[in-house]
A and B are shown apart, each in its own frame.
Chain A
Amino acid sequence: VRSSMTEREERRFAEVPRESIKLMAESTGVELSEEVATLLAEDVCYRLREATQNSSQFMRHAKRRKLSVEDFNRALRWSNTETVCGYGAQDALPFRPLKEGELFFVEDREINLVELALATNIPKGCAETMVRVHVSYLDGKGNLEPQGTVPTAVQSLSEDLLKYYQQITRAILGEDPHLMKVALLDLQSNSKIAALLPYFVYVISGVKSVSHDLDQLNRLLHMVKSLVQNPYLYLGSYVRSLVSSVMYCILEPLAASINPLNDHWTLRDYAALLLSHIFWTHGDLVSGLYHQILLSLQKVLSDPVRPLCSHYGAVVGLHALGWKAVERVLYPHLPAYWANLQAVLDDYSVSNAQVKADGHKVYGAILVAVERLLKMKALSLTLAAEGGCAGLPGTATGAVGFRENSLGLSPPPEPLSEPPLGIASHLQAGGAGCPWEEWTPVSLPAMYCELYSFFGDSLAVRFSTGPPLGGATPPGPCQPLEGRKEPASSAPNLENTRKMPQLTASMNISPRRDGSPRMEPQPPSLAATVPGRSLARSSSSSSSVSRSRSSSSRPGRSTSQSRDIFPKARFPLPQAGPPAFSFIIGGRQMGRRCQGRRFQTSFTPTPPHTTLPPRAYAHKLPVIGRVSKPVRRWTCSHYSLHLPL
């Protein structure tokens, strides 16, 4: 709590309120009377102002416009006051408001020193200060010749570097794939090219001029990858430029994508992967980068005018940034977006065929993204539970595969006050889709329910099956597929993964009108079972309620039009209706010390979500992504929702 502007406008300073003084005093264990606090507050204000005024002198003599922390500290030092430590970072310190209680604070992130110390990617440090000459020749009239541009600036590089630069760019952008590979490899490992970095970045920023040429785009992206992976390069603020080039490939309706034969999807996928790579390895170089990326992705996603390939890019981009990004941006945005996608997918006209195909791509991408979201969320819950019991938080486990797993790595919601792009203001202003301000975590079951209402069984299939997160999930929660088939067989599983509390949900789904291979006569029901327990009754009753509700709201539903009402019907639901799902988490927790404790938690998701029958439509879609055997799954009427919680 530093200071807050008061309403008194005639005095244009920050003032430290009395309450802050009291708080600070309390934190050091001193009780202050109201009177003393007032006096102290006034004096503190004055001293702060005095110090600030003095510090401006140091700024002026350093010939800067920006007052630095150092300046302030010098002013303090010269007035025999203890200096303030820990604020020397170059980047602006995030200053955040907290909604409740009008609390303002400087974000103080904890830094894992071990990680920092053991980091393999050691930055090279600052570049050497040097002097460069530029001559403006003036004629008699005082006119000067035009200023040099970057290519001419390259000329001033040393002979060797210049040669290298020419060779590399020629090789990468040239025809010979072998040469390109060699060049990329060298770019990835050469330790002496720091001086060339700006030029390479400049070359890469040329993506905008070759958007018709997928091949060139790919090459440039490979160049980005090589630069990013070069351990000797300190990218610094060039990260921003690289990211913007990559984002261009992800999001822009490239000229190349006009021709459906061009596989720009792969390019976007690759760019998204690259983005996540840059972000996870270099994201710390530019503060607020994460949010800028998220914001631009969100902007694209929420812009219905953008072509579907852009939307696709946004979704894969979010996916690549990790499940948290999906949870924060894609998930809250899904209901709104769904309506648009739906419209596209429902248009069977020939003219729409291409767009529709694109729509399917987007659909698939979303599906993959939310699948990972659900799985990772489940996993994170597990880890959290485990961490609470075993004492060692999930870093060890989380670090195994996806870096998103380790919660510590995921950047905390930084303050949105990032000056460079003026994004913060935009974000705070944009109320509706703003994922950060009003974002509250949604519980996993609730999320599942909601998502299920969109995707129907195709989600369930993917969720329950599929390779366990690309084989990257920690061995604990990852279980062999066979074990999930029946609730009964989860008992031996429990022993294998003994620490895992387990949630088992079995679900009966009737994809009646969807033309799935087998018709099920029962109403959709879901039973979450723990060994020896069944809640089938409650869930079936709830879903019957939902059926009746939906049928009453839309009589024509039975004529395979159910999806039409879907986006509208979703919203009034949370207030009404009994819970449709109830989960019971049961299991055995066993730490290293204790014998194990049986526990059973039952929770009912707060809002009942599936008041509609599962989306019949979903099943018609070709399954996109990595699911191995979707069709066989379809034949089963019983799906076990086997979640390692």
Chain B
Amino acid sequence: MAAVQDGPMELDAEKEAKPEILSDGTSNLSGNTASGTLSSSPLTAAPAGGAPKMEDQQTLIAVLQFLKRNKLSESVEILRREAGLGEHQEGSQATDGSGGGKGDGDGGDANSLLSRVSITSAAAPQSMPVKSDCIINIFRCDLPFMFMLSEDQPDVSVVLSAYSQQGDPPLYQVYYSGLKNFIESVLDCHRAELSQLFYPLFVHMYLELVYNNHETEAKAFFDKFSGDQECYYQDDLHILCGLTKKEHLKGNEVLLDFRTSRFVLHISRDSYQLLKRHLQERHNNQIWNIIQEHLYIDIFDGMPRSKSQIDSMSGSLAGEAKREVNKAKVFYGLLKEPEIEVPLDDEDDEAENEEGKPKKKKTKKDSLGSKSKKQDPNAPQQNRIPLPELKDSDKLDKIMYMKESTKRIRLGPENLPSICFYTFLNAFQGLTAVDFTDDSSLLAGGFADSTVRVWSVTPKKLRKVKSAGELNVIEKESDDVLERIMDEKTASESKILHGHSGPVYGVSFSPDRNYLLSSSEDGTVRLWSLQTFTCLVGYKGHNYPVWDTHFSPFGYYFVSGGHDRVARLWATDHYQPLRIFAGHLADVTCTRFHPNSNYVATGSTDRTVRLWDVLNANCVRILTGHKGPIHSLAFSPNGKFLASGSTDGRVLLWDIGHGLMIGELKGHTDTIYALKFSRDGEILASGSMDNTVRLWDSMKAFDEVETDDFTATTGHIHLPDNSQELLLGMYHSKSTPVTHLHFTRRNLLLAAGAYNSQ
């Protein structure tokens, strides 16, 4: 009920047949006439009955002109005869249209004729007869058609052809500044909302000018108005101002993004009405067309939003998310922990804990609200996604995990974690990715020289399994067979994995520490065995660099995302992806699994975070608000919240259930490459290129959000600007950007990065 759509706004994006636009447009006009609000407008003054007849004639004339231009004189004759059109009529039309210019009786160049018509229509809208308006419409439908005929690249040219001649180039500035004057003159409460129109209109108008080869006008237009745009669009504007030729438009991804997806704006009903009335009064056809064709205005009832509210949500490549996108239900709860009987006799060194341990654990879990034994109402079905069976070794590990968690330090504002920094020396600017195993025993680094290196950060050295021949002679029944299969000769602190042919941009350990994933510029994701330290599989599917990969918390599944703008879900035993998450408008830069493994979050260069359902590959959340490419993501341990960090140095906190931004952590001065919640979720650690690790009070950030805000009809909340209160600590490294952060099971913070000597 919130998203009440206005009639004219419901133009379908998928409309293939361009001529429909005409009918749509006219029905739109007549609709307005019927409403009778603007009877004085020449547009609406079109007599409802006479219009169709007139229109037919105009169409005929246009066809005639087309035929003439193509030297199809016989057809011209035939058509003229059949339609009963005299030569004079055609001429008079032209004269009519050009507003008293000399009669272009020959009609030799339809193009020039029609464009002149449109010039007049734009220049003198008041005196313009209705017929010429129709001609414009005809022509607009006509051109794309011709384009399709002449060019064999349907996708690009169709997209671009929407930018055919629409108005007089020099007048673009007039249109734009007319709108600008209007928006600046409206009431404050509406101004902020309507100002959102500036950027998309600016870009579309600029591209239109460029597309129609009006280079100088485009440049003038850009110079005049680019300064008005919000500062967070600077990067895009920078790319945009490089585009000066029609040829440049083809193959430019930014442009295609802009064209293929409608820019989404949230505007309150009042503001929207104001805008519509203005455009119709002033007869600002040009802008109206752009709004109809290229923008999606999501209208809501209620108070207009304030400037800060708008700013916090905007900034992505394609505007804000449509609200209905974020309506889907997300099961963000955690899965039930499998029942594992902790063998009490196993507690040799912790006899005193034996009794209290299970109880203690239970209370703790309850207090966290994350791992209670009974099914969480927000949790997905246990078998919604088929998960691998637990192996014996996994159970052992779970037991270890539980033991460790009893010794976990309870963190909080008064109790910050110590930080252990793993500095990569002699990496020569080549360290590109880092990951720790969950138990913090292994450290993997991806390097620009296409190697992956694995270190043991415990005294236990890395050993390979013996060769097949040697394994044959091992007594398989012995108790220590797992120890015997290891080749002691290969023990070393670190191992190098060779196999990629480009920089390794992402690494991820499997939860059972048997495998390591790495994604690389060479377009592959590789699975490595940590038993043999060899490559097991190369997953090919991304045709472009793979920027990130991440193992599911339950193993078996993993996700990867890359330059081809899609994220893919894989299973380790399938060489093809199980799901393809498509929808981002630019590179997928980082990928993370939800703790319950049912969802995948991806961050992208299009400055949005998306949440995907693993079950059906649907996009269930689009989170906008970042002003730069997103390079780090972290789910809170209870699965309710998501943190994202971007190149603009801000961390944004999201409530997954409601799909809303609930916090903004400002302070970093450079790209945030690492985010991690503490094991209990009280502390959020962020690591950045600015050589700092910052600790934030995430509990406070989550608590301060009024839950009432979510239920408000607008769904827009006030973000408290409390970054400074939430910042608990900031720790500098000497000259080491922080590439990765990890909390050990006991809540010691591990950080990693390569020392940068320059």
Q: Which residues does A use to contact B, with CB under 8 Å?
A: 10-13, 42-43, 46, 49-50, 53, 57-58, 60-66, 68, 70, 74, 78, 90, 126-138, 140, 142, 144, 147, 237
Q: Considering the chains assembled together, what is the distance between the CA atoms of A555 and B647 in angstroms?
A: 77
Which residues of the partner chain B approach A132 to less than 8 Å between Cβ atoms? 422-423, 425
Contact A135 B418 (CB under 8 A): yes
Pick the contact of B239: A12, A53, A57, A58 (CB < 8 A).
A53
Quote the shortest CB–CB distance from A139 to chain B (angstroms): 8
Report A69 CB to chain B, min CB distance, Å.
12
A142/B695 in contact, CB under 8 A: yes
Residues of chain A within 8 A (CB-CB) of B423 are 131-134
Residues 578-616 of B at the A interface (beta carbon under 8 Å): 587, 589, 605
List which B432-488 residues lie within 8 A (CB) of chain A. 432, 443, 445, 447-448, 453, 455, 457
CB atoms of B563 and A137 under 8 A apart: no
Interface flag for B399 (CB, 8 Å):
no
Measured between C-beta atoms, what is the minimum distance from B135 to chain A in Å?
34
B514 contacts chain A at the CB level, 8 A cutoff: no
- In the complex, the chain B residue whose C-beta lies closest to that of A237 is B757
Whether the pair B245, A136 counts as a contact (CB closer than 8 A) is no
- Asked if A46 contacts B422 (CB within 8 A), the reply is no
Chain B residue with Cβ nearest A49: B242
Contact call A142/B728, Cβ cutoff below 8 A: yes
Chain A proximity mask over B657-681: 1 for CB below 8 Å, otherwise 0: 0000000000000110100000000
Binds A, one of B3-11, B194-202, B380-388, B731-739: B731-739
CA distance A87 to B366 in the complex (A): 60
| B457 contacts across to A, CB distance below 8 A | 131, 133
CB contacts (< 8 Å) of B421 on chain A: these are 133-136
Measured in the bound complex, the distance between the Cα atoms of B414 and A63 in whole Å is 33
Q: In the assembled complex, which residues on chain A have CB atoms less than 8 Å from the CB atom of B587?
A: 57
- The answer to the question of B569 belonging to the interface, with a C-beta cut-off of 8 Å to chain A, is no
Q: How far is the CA of A63 from the CA of B426 in the complex (A)?
A: 16
Q: Is B671 touching A129 in the complex (CB atoms < 8 A)?
A: no
Partner pick for B415 among A134, A140, A144, CB 8 A cutoff: A140
A135 touching B589, Cβ below 8 Å: no
Are B416 and A129 closer than 8 Å at their CB atoms? no
In the assembled complex, the Cα of A65 lies from the Cα of B670 at a distance in Å of 10
Determine how close the nearest CB of chain A comes to the CB of B735; give it in whole angstroms. Answer: 12
Q: Which of B219-270 contact A (CB under 8 A)?
A: 223, 238-239, 241-245, 247-248, 252
Task: Please measure, in the bound complex, the distance between the C-alpha atom of A86 and the C-alpha atom of B275, giving whole angstroms.
Answer: 57
CB–CB B245/A63 < 8 A: no
Chain A residues within 8 Å of B244, by CB: 42, 46
A134 to B752, CA, bound (A): 10
Contact with A along B537-564 (1 / 0, CB 8 A): 0000000110100000000000000010
Q: Choose one: A46, A70, A78, A142; the contact of B416 (CB below 8 Å).
A: A142
Picked from A61, A129, A136, the residue with its CB within 8 Å of the CB of B547 is: A61
Contact of A135 among B420, B431, B502 (CB under 8 A): B420
In the complex, A140 Cα to B589 Cα: how many Å? 36
- Give bound CA distance, A147 to B544, whole Å: 43
Q: Is the CB of A131 within 8 A of B545?
A: no
Q: How long is the Cα–Cα vector from A147 to B631 in the complex, in angstroms? A: 29
The reply to whether the CB of B182 lies closer than 8 angstroms to some CB of chain A is no
CA distance A136 to B647 in the complex (A): 26
Establish whether residues B422 and A129, one from each chain, have CB atoms under 8 Å apart when the complex forms.
no
Docked-complex contact A130 and B425, CB < 8 angstroms = yes
Chain A residues within an 8 Å CB radius of B242: 13, 46, 49-50, 53
- Give the distance in Å from the alpha carbon of A49 to the alpha carbon of B240 in the complex: 11
Instruction: Tell me, in angstroms, the Cα distance from A128 to B428 when the chains sit together.
Output: 10
Whole-angstrom distance between the alpha carbons of A133 and B459 in the complex?
Answer: 13
In the complex where A57-B605, A131-B443 touch, is A78 in contact with B544 (Cβ < 8 A)?
A: yes
Does A133 contact B420, Cβ atoms closer than 8 Å?
yes
5 closest A-B pairs by beta carbon, nearest first, are A142-B729, A127-B426, A136-B419, A49-B242, A138-B416
Proximity string of chain B (397-433) to chain A, C-beta cutoff 8 Å, 1 when within and 0 when not: 0000000000000000011111111111111111110
> How far is the CB of B746 from the nearest CB of chain A, in Å?
14
Which of A50, A60, A90 is the most central at the interface, judged by chain B CB atoms within 10 Å of its CB? Answer: A60
Which residues of the partner chain A approach B424 to less than 8 Å between Cβ atoms? Answer: 129-131
B734 contacts A147, CB within 8 Å? Answer: yes
- List the A side residues contacting B689 at CB < 8 Å: 63, 65
Residue picked from A57, A129, A136, A140, most chain B C-beta under 10 Å: A129
Given A57-B587, A131-B443, A131-B752, 6 more A-B residue pairs with CB atoms under 8 Å apart are: A50-B242, A63-B671, A68-B429, A130-B425, A131-B425, A142-B728
Residue in A closest to B496 when the chains form the complex, CB atoms: A129
Contacts A132-B423, A132-B425, A138-B416 given; indicate if A60 touches B455 (C-beta within 8 A): no
Docked-complex contact A62 and B432, CB < 8 angstroms: yes
B503 interface hit (Cβ, 8 Å): yes
Tell me the bound Cα distance from A133 to B457 in angstroms: 9
- A78–B563 Cα distance when bound, in Å, is 10
Complex CA–CA separation, A135 to B733 (angstroms): 11
Contact between chains at A135 and B647 (CB < 8 Å) = no
- Residue of A whose beta carbon sits closest to that of B605: A57
List chain B residues, Cβ under 8 A from A65: 670, 689
Are B425 and A70 in contact, with the CB atoms below 8 A?
no
Contacts of B426 in A (CB 8 A): 126-130
Binary interface encoding of chain B residues 685-712 relative to chain A, with 1 for a CB under 8 A from any of its CBs, else 0: 0000100000100000000000000000
Inter-subunit contact B417/A138 (CB<8 Å): yes
Q: Measured between C-beta atoms, what is the minimum distance from A144 to chain B in Å?
A: 6
Cβ of B505 within 8 Å of any chain A Cβ, yes or no, is yes
Chain A: minimal CB distance from B75 (Å):
38
Write the B631-652 contact mask toward A (1 if CB under 8 angstroms, else 0): 1000000000000000100000
CA distance in complex: A49, B421 (Å): 38
15 A-B pairs in the complex with CB atoms less than 8 angstroms apart = A46-B248, A53-B239, A60-B629, A60-B647, A61-B547, A62-B429, A62-B503, A74-B502, A126-B426, A131-B424, A132-B423, A133-B420, A136-B419, A138-B418, A144-B419
Docked Cα-Cα span, A638 to B83, in Å, equals: 119
A70 CA to B245 CA, complexed, in Å: 29
Bound CA–CA A127/B425 (angstroms):
9
- CB of B521 closer than 8 Å to a CB of A: yes
Do residues B247 and A63 form an inter-chain contact, with CB atoms below 8 A?
no
A74, B426: Cα distance in complex, Å = 23
Q: Are A60 and B521 in contact (CB under 8 A)?
A: no
CB atoms of A10 and B247 under 8 A apart? no
CB distance from B566 to the nearest CB of A (A): 16
Chain A, residue nearest B453 (CB): A129
| A138, B729: Cβ atoms closer than 8 Å | yes
Q: Are B223 and A10 neighbours in the complex by a CB distance under 8 Å?
A: yes
Minimal Cβ-Cβ distance residue in A for B674: A63
| C-alpha spacing A63/B563, complex, angstroms | 16
Of A57, A70, A136, the residue contacting B448 (CB under 8 A) is A70
Contact between B418 and A63, CB atoms less than 8 A apart: no
What residues on B are CB-neighbors of A12 within 8 Å? 238
A61 touches B589 (CB 8 A): yes
CA distance A428 to B372 in the complex (A): 72
Whether the pair A131, B422 counts as a contact (CB closer than 8 A) is yes
B252 CB to nearest A CB, Å: 8
B720-758: contact bitstring with A at CB < 8 Å (1 yes, 0 no)?
000000001101001001010000000000001000011
From residue B44, how far is it (CB to closest CB) to chain A in Å?
41
Note all chain A residues with C-beta closer than 8 A to B416: 138, 140, 142
Which residue in B414, B563, B739 is a CB contact (below 8 Å) of A140?
B414
Residues of chain B contacted by A64 (CB below 8 angstroms): 429
Contact of A63 with B729 in the complex, beta carbons under 8 Å: no
Determine the chain A residues whose CB is within 8 A of the CB of B739 once the complex forms: 63
Across the interface, do B425 and A60 meet the contact criterion of CB distance under 8 Å?
no
A147-B735 Cα distance, complex, nearest whole Å: 13
A74 and B737 in contact, given A64-B429, A65-B689, A140-B415 (Cβ under 8 angstroms): no
**Distance of B124 from chain A, by nearest CB (Å):** 32
C-alpha spacing A334/B242, complex, angstroms: 53
A63 touches B521 (CB 8 A): no
Known: A128-B426, A134-B421, A135-B418. A42 touches B729 (CB 8 A): no
Contacts of A127 in B (CB 8 A): 425-426
B428 surroundings in chain A (CB, below 8 A): 90, 126, 129
